[in-house]
Amino acid sequence: MSGSVDWEELATALARMARDLLAQDSVQKTLDRIVTHAVGLVEGCEFAGILVVRKKDWSTLAATDNVVHASDRAQVELHEGPCFDATVNRHELYRIGDMTSSEQRWPRYAPRAHALGIGSMMGFLLFTNGTDNLGALNMYSSRPNAFTDRSERPGWILAAHAAVALSSARTDANLHDALATRTDIGEALGIMMERYKIDEHAAFDLLRRISQHHNTKIRDLARGITTTGYIPHIDNQ
């Protein structure tokens, strides 16, 4: 999008994006589509990624280019950089006009970014409320001063849509895992009831004791029983 923002065109594009995100059937597919839409919708954006940092753990959840992975690694190694700050210090927006000039905020990261071919950057903290940090949506360009106010406004809207879609996708994934676990446990209990001629209460108690004895989560134990039919033994079983 060049020149002034065509808000009717942007609204249509965002509506299509929202439908596309809701149509994805996994968290990872949702993440991949978010960064793809960032490149397509935000003026100046050549590649994009989502970085999450929690304490000492970090991960690049999605990226459209290897430059994104290299930039994220550099920031985490150096413990500085705009994406790192956005997730750790909850900066809702950052915009860096020129990585080739003297960037005082990140004196070690800026030269590394420039060497990677990054000319300018912009990013947004992803959240659905004041406490739920989902990481940062980061946008990159090889050109200095590629991001302007025209980039920032669509970027805000995209980030808001992305955060809601990502939160929804994660909720659906958690629900799917919970239902799968419930199914596995039910099937495992059925196998144990038939094999040992016991009722459901006794079967669950036995499943719990086997789990504790072997230091294995009940859901993993149940999945193993339903997959192989093997029930681990314990003393006085």
User: What is this structure's pTM?
Assistant: 0.69
| 158, 45: one domain | yes
Instruction: Using pLDDT thresholds of 50, 70 and 90, give the confidence band for residue 56.
Output: low
Closest to 47 (Cα-Cα) out of 65, 60, 69, 30: 65
pLDDT digits (tens, 9 = 90+) for 191-229: 999 999 998 888 888 998 898 888 888 888 998 999 898
CATH of the domain at 152: 3.30.450.40
| 105, 220: one domain | no
Phi-psi category of 145—alpha, beta or left, where left has phi over 0 and alpha has psi -120 to 50?
A: left
Residue 233 lies in a domain: no
Phi-psi category of 96—alpha, beta or left, where left has phi over 0 and alpha has psi -120 to 50?
A: beta
pLDDT digits (tens, 9 = 90+) for 20-35: 888 888 878 888 999 9
Number of independent structural domains in the chain: 2
Residue 236 lies in a domain: no
Q: Considering 170, 185, 207, which residue would you say is the last residue of a domain?
A: 170
Any bridge partners for residue 123, and if so which? 94, 138
CATH of the domain at 181: 1.10.10.10
| 156, 179: one domain | no
| 111, 40: one domain | yes
Q: What is the mean pLDDT of residues 154-169?
A: 79
